[in-house]
Amino acid sequence: MKKVLITGAAGFLGSHLCDRFIKEGYHVVAMDNFITGDKKNIEHLVGTKNFEFVAHDVTNFIELRGSLDYILHFASPASPIDYLKIPIQTLKVGALGTHNLLGLAKAKNARILIASTSEIYGDPLVHPQTEDYYGNVNTIGPRGVYDEAKRFQEAITMAYNRFHGLETRIVRIFNTYGPRMRLNDGRVIPAFMGQALRGEDLTVFGDGSQTRSFCYVDDQIEGIYRLLLSDYEYPVNIGNPHEITIKDFAEEIIKLTGTNQKIVYKDLPVNDPLQRQPDISLAKKILNWEPKVDRAEGMKITYNYFKSLPQEELHKSEHKNFKEHIKE
């Protein structure tokens, strides 16, 4: 039986990856320090044969007994609000955490897949974004802590690949959504849906003309799974190319939720990318992958998930663990 280590396992994508690898018959070692994640996301797996959980901060040395076939490094704050609140931890998990996991992969002779992001393209001057575009990132802006950690992560991964001959994979994930996102993580989908459920106006930042392209989680997990098992060592975009302005998206959510609220406009955050759309030609070609779930269907499932959460979840303003970790 193949054994896989998944970091960030109590988070949104990490927990869906755990489900997928258990389903495929792997032994899953799940690792997390709960800084932005939640035990509830993996509770259903605890007690399952072939699933074990290790509470650990991956910025510290990682010791694991036994063999390991694959590592998927997904630990990192991922929402702009989260990484503005915990900037040092964001830099550390992208840099020190990635270094530790590459070292572990080398020691175990395991293949490692690194979760990169469309944010490495910054506010892109090439549209849609292809993997050969180098990006347009402000190193010292507030988003720099995330973007540069992820760019360093790609650089050190390729260095281990070239210098140590390590088997590496890099996925550049574009905005992904679905059940188990944190309602208060500040990303646009939980933000708008939380506002609709609380009966608040929807806050569009800027004039709402900036664009994003949203990928449903099941499609994202399928792309990542195929990339891990492929022979391709260079970065691959995984996302849904169906692009929409944030203003139109807010209107779509007002329709979907049936809320009587309206749109209110707030300042655009510094360095908020004005357009984002993945070019997925490479993923189509080498992974025979493309998204299958359209936005209407994915958003309906996601809204039903948020609606089913206990009332108190709706009113939490930030993650309960931030204060505990902030001193580190």
Least distance in angstroms from the C-beta of 213 to ligand NAD: 11
- Residues in 87-116 at the binding interface with ligand NAD, rule: CB under 6 A: 93, 97, 115
Which residue number, 30 or 80, has a Cβ lying nearer to ligand UDP? 80
Kindly state whether residue 273 participates in binding ligand NAD, applying the rule CB under 6 A. no
Least distance in angstroms from the C-beta of 166 to ligand NAD: 19
- In the list 5, 8, 29, 190, the residue contacting ligand NAD (rule: CB under 6 A) is 8
DSSP-assigned letters across all residues of 118-156: GGGGBS-SSSSBPTT---B--TTSTTHHHHHHHHHHHHH
Kindly state whether residue 151 participates in binding ligand UDP, applying the rule CB under 6 A. no
Burial grade of 138 (CB within 10 A; 0-12, 13-18, 19 or more):
middle
Find the part of the chain contacting ligand UDP (CB under 6 A) among 21-29, 127-135, 180-188, 226-234.
Answer: 180-188
- In the list 30, 59, 113, 210, the residue contacting ligand NAD (rule: CB under 6 A) is 59
Residue 188 contact partner, candidates ligand NAD, ligand UDP, none, CB within 5 to 8 A by sort of partner:
ligand UDP
Q: Are 70 and 228 in contact (CB under 8 A)?
A: yes
Cα separation, 218 vs 224, in Å, equals 10
Q: Is 177 a catalytic residue?
A: no
Least distance in angstroms from the C-beta of 229 to ligand UDP: 28
Kindly state whether residue 205 participates in binding ligand UDP, applying the rule CB under 6 A. yes
Kindly state whether residue 269 participates in binding ligand UDP, applying the rule CB under 6 A. yes
Cα separation, 277 vs 253, in Å, equals 20
Residue 170 contact partner, candidates ligand UDP, ligand NAD, none, CB within 5 to 8 A by sort of partner:
none
Find the part of the chain contacting ligand UDP (CB under 6 A) among 64-72, 103-111, 159-167, 202-210.
Answer: 202-210
Q: Tokens 């993996």 belong to which residue?
A: 42
H or E stretch including 7? strand 3-7
- How far apart, in Å, do the first and last CA atoms of the chain sit? 38
Cα separation, 243 vs 249, in Å, equals 10
Kindly state whether residue 246 participates in binding ligand UDP, applying the rule CB under 6 A. yes
Kindly state whether residue 80 participates in binding ligand UDP, applying the rule CB under 6 A. yes
Kindly state whether residue 169 participates in binding ligand UDP, applying the rule CB under 6 A. no
**In 10 A of CB 186, how many CB atoms?**
18
* 3-class DSSP state of 248: helix
Helices (H) and strands (E) in the chain, counts: 12, 13
Which residue number, 77 or 225, has a Cβ lying nearer to ligand UDP? 77
Report the catalytic residues: 146
